């Protein structure tokens, strides 16, 4: 529609106030009278009010009228010349009373299936009409829905509707918009329609996992469903699919383990999956044509169809994701799901906006969309039904699919109360549940003190945060040329000592997610090709091993990017969210070429798991038993003591300089690890340049 040709617009801006906008190209925007036409009562009510002097809309004359009206009814505004337009209720969602009037705490939104009938419920309090359209036996059938309490529209349809496709037709002013069901459990390919499924057919037994006593016992390994298996080197048949994770005895070209077998012998405890909910920019019927990581959510309630063998099969959408998680659980691996509850790919096209316009997305004071995400919109997580929706979806992924934790993308956009409720809900179901995320302070239209940022971590003591101080100090910033301690900037030695113990940043040590590499930005290997261009390949790899050792042995929670342990490369590219499989797919043959480093990581993980001093969960215990020292302004001495474990005492030397540094060794210490196979001679050890040495007693 051409906006400039619209002569009159009318909005309910409060529950007893209407604003009418009359084009100044139409009778100079002047009308002596306005009426409210009630279609249900077939009556015309004269409105009384005033013309407003406003510069906000220079092309329209604005009028304000105070009058009561009933939600769910269809009204028109009529002027003195007979011009009319429908009254639009969508702006009422911005009123402070809206949540109080229309918050719905029921657990029955979506479709509830039995063989005898299916009941459909959708929360659409601003709508004047909702029609259920189902596609059964290639025939469209329409069912008017009845408005109930709190603006929930409902209808029950007799008969067995299993695997029936459906949409909602929702009217807010003049036209109907087609919407998916935001609470459906399945949908057809590329979001064409929602699908009715029988939940009794997707119940899966859950593995009983040993409890995670402390968050610092976790060792997190991040991967993408697609990247994990897509390469021809993966040895997996179901490339880019959920089912690749349940394949057994897969191997590289040289016959060494890949996939699930590899993950289970690496020693990690948690697999963090990049988004698996339905995302927008991959054609689910032609999934190899386009690539995306999945941080472009189209829906939060169903799985991504390109990861399923048949995206039009409602049951496979659920069951193949369940099988993946079941397979990981069978190897003792918990699963963390990366969730993107900060923005949607397109405000106008998703079911949230279409069911309740203007409600689910945060607004600036001038009414424009908040854009802290830099993706065009921010989810309005303080709105009660938006918060409930996030909680309902988090519960679904945990209960139906078996998820063991969440990693929140751009968590700084989400309010602290919502995050605390997500964490409490998860732990009420599973005491070992973990929640962490990106605590960057994004410029969203939410006051800073309410944001779940790393600066506000003491307000959310049970939530973990990606530690960018740890990353930038040890590796360097995201600028390719910048150096950190382990890339040779020994001026950062003292800061690196702080990063390894993490004593000051957080309310508690388990909040520190320690990483130097993740899906975002360049891999450490690629970064060192730029920042350390003047060093040979072997020296660069020594530096990468030092970074891995620091991640695994530091106090806090270690986080490893898939392939980091065999020097993953993306050809020097940084933000590869849509760069394709050739860049992003995991090259499993590279694992064989760097098997020494993989085994080194396995050794470090074993050391961490079998010695509590590397994973203390209390700051006071750390202060009593752990210390760091600066040796020769270039090397870190990391000393640890424990009462129970393989050893009583450890001394770890991180030498990021190119100099050999000699240290005295106390009686009783033996050398567990030295990357140059050094020896203790006469109670002295020469720690080679760019080298890790671990002594134990």
- Are the CB atoms for 119 and 155 separated by under 8 Å? yes
For residue 415, the 8-state DSSP code is B
* Residue tagged 């049951």 (tokens): 315
CA dist 575 and 192 (Å) reads 30
Give, for 19, the enclosing helix (H) or strand (E).
strand 17-23
* Residue tagged 């309310």 (tokens): 507
Out of 304, 313, 338, 409, the active site residue is 409
CA dist 251 and 299 (Å) reads 35
CA torsion through residues 671, 674, 677, 681, sign: negative
Concatenated DSSP letters for 104-161? ---S--EEEE-SSEEEEEEE-TT-SEEEEEEEETTEEEEEEPEE-GGGEEEEEEES--
* Residue tagged 């009426």 (tokens): 35
**What is the token pair recorded at 394?**
């988090």
CA dist 696 and 662 (Å) reads 17
For this structure, is 537 an active site residue? no
- Are the CB atoms for 411 and 277 separated by under 8 Å? no
CA dist 170 and 150 (Å) reads 16
Q: What number of residues does the chain have? A: 697
| Vertex 555: Cα angle to 549 and 558 (nearest 5) | 55
Query: Torsion angle of alpha carbons 524, 527, 532, 535, nearest 10°?
Result: 60
Q: Are strands 110-113 and 691-696 parallel, antiparallel or unpaired?
A: unpaired
For this structure, is 217 an active site residue? no
CA dist 335 and 329 (Å) reads 8
Closest CA to 683 of 666, 670, 671: 666
Concatenated DSSP letters for 645-656? BS-SEEEEEEE-
CA dist 547 and 550 (Å) reads 5
Out of 423, 438, 472, 526, the active site residue is 438
Spatial CB neighbours of 120, under 8 Å, sequence gap ≥ 6: 110, 111, 132, 145, 154, 155, 156, 157, 166, 181
Residue 546 class from Cβ within 10 Å (0-12 exposed, 13-18 middle, 19+ buried)? buried
CA dist 359 and 172 (Å) reads 13
Residue 27 class from Cβ within 10 Å (0-12 exposed, 13-18 middle, 19+ buried)? middle
- Cβ neighbours of 169 (radius 10 Å): 18
73 to each of 87, 173, 277, 522, how far by Cα in Å? Answer: 10, 10, 36, 55
Among all residues, which ones are annotated catalytic?
409, 438
């Amino acid at each position: 529609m051409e906006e400039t040709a619209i002569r009159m617009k009318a909005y309910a801006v409060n529950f007893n106030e209407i604003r009418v906008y009359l084009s100044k190209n139409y009778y100079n925007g002047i009308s002596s009278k306005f009426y409210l036409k009630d279609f249900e009562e077939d009556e015309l009510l004269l409105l009384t009010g005033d013309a407003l002097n406003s510069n906000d809309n220079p092309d329209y004359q604005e009028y304000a009228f105070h009058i009561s009206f009933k939600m769910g009814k269809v009204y028109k505004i009529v002027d003195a010349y007979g011009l009319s337009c429908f009254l639009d209720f969508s702006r009422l969602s911005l009123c402070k009373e809206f949540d109080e009037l229309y918050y719905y705490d029921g657990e029955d939104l979506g479709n509830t299936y039995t063989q005898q009938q299916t009941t459909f419920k959708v929360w659409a309090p601003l709508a004047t009409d909702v029609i259920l359209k189902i596609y059964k036996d290639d025939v469209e059938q329409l069912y008017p829905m009845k408005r109930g309490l709190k603006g929930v529209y409902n209808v029950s349809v007799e008969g067995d509707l299993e695997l029936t496709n459906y949409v909602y037709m929702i009217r807010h002013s003049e036209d109907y918009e087609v919407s998916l069901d935001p609470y459906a459990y399945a949908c057809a390919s590329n979001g064409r329609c929602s699908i009715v499924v029988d939940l009794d057919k997707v119940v899966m037994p859950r593995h009983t996992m040993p409890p995670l006593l402390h968050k610092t016992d976790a060792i997190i390994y991040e991967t993408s469903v697609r990247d994990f298996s897509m390469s021809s080197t993966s040895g997996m048949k179901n490339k880019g699919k959920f089912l690749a994770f349940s394949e057994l005895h897969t191997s590289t070209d040289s016959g060494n383990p890949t996939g699930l077998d590899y993950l289970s012998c690496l020693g990690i405890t948690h697999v963090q999956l990049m988004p698996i909910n339905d995302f927008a920019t991959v054609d689910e019927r032609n999934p190899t044509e386009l690539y995306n990581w999945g941080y472009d959510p189209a829906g939060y309630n169903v799985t991504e169809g390109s990861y399923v063998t048949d995206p039009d099969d409602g049951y496979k959408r659920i069951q193949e994701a369940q099988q993946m998680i079941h397979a990981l659980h069978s190897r003792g691996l918990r699963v963390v799901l990366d969730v993107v509850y900060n923005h949607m790919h397109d405000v106008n096209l998703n079911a949230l906006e279409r069911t309740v316009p203007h409600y689910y997305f945060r607004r600036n004071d001038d009414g424009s969309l908040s854009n802290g995400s830099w993706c065009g919109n921010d989810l309005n997580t303080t709105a009660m039904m938006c918060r409930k929706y996030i909680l309902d979806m988090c519960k679904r992924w945990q209960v139906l699919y078996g998820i063991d934790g969440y990693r929140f993308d751009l968590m700084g956009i989400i309010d602290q109360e919502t995050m605390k409720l997500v964490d409490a809900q998860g732990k009420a179901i599973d005491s070992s549940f973990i929640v962490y995320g990106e605590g960057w302070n994004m410029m969203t239209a939410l006051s800073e003190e309410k944001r779940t940022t790393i600066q506000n971590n003491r307000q959310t003591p049970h939530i973990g945060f990606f530690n960018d101080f740890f990353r930038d100090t040890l590796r360097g910033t995201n600028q390719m040329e910048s150096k950190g301690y382990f890339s040779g900037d020994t001026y950062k030695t003292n800061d690196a000592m702080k990063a390894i113990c993490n004593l000051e940043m957080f309310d508690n040590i388990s909040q520190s997610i320690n990483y130097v590499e993740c899906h975002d930005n360049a891999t450490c290997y690629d970064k060192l090709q730029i920042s350390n261009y003047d060093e040979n390949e072997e020296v660069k790899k020594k530096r990468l091993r030092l970074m891995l050792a620091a991640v695994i042995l530091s106090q806090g929670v270690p986080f490893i990017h898939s392939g980091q342990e065999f020097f993953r490369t993306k050809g020097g590219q940084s933000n590869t969210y849509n760069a394709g499989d050739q860049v992003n797919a995991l090259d499993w043959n590279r694992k064989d070429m760097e098997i020494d480093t993989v085994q080194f990581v396995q050794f470090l993980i074993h050391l961490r798991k079998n010695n509590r001093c590397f994973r203390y969960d209390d700051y006071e215990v750390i202060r009593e038993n752990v210390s760091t020292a600066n040796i020769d302004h270039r090397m870190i001495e990391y000393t640890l003591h424990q009462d129970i474990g393989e050893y009583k005492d450890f001394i770890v030397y991180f030498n990021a300089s190119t100099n050999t540094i000699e240290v005295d060794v106390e009686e009783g210490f033996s050398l567990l690890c030295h990357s140059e196979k050094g020896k203790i001679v006469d109670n002295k050890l020469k720690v080679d340049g760019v080298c890790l040495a671990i002594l134990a007693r």
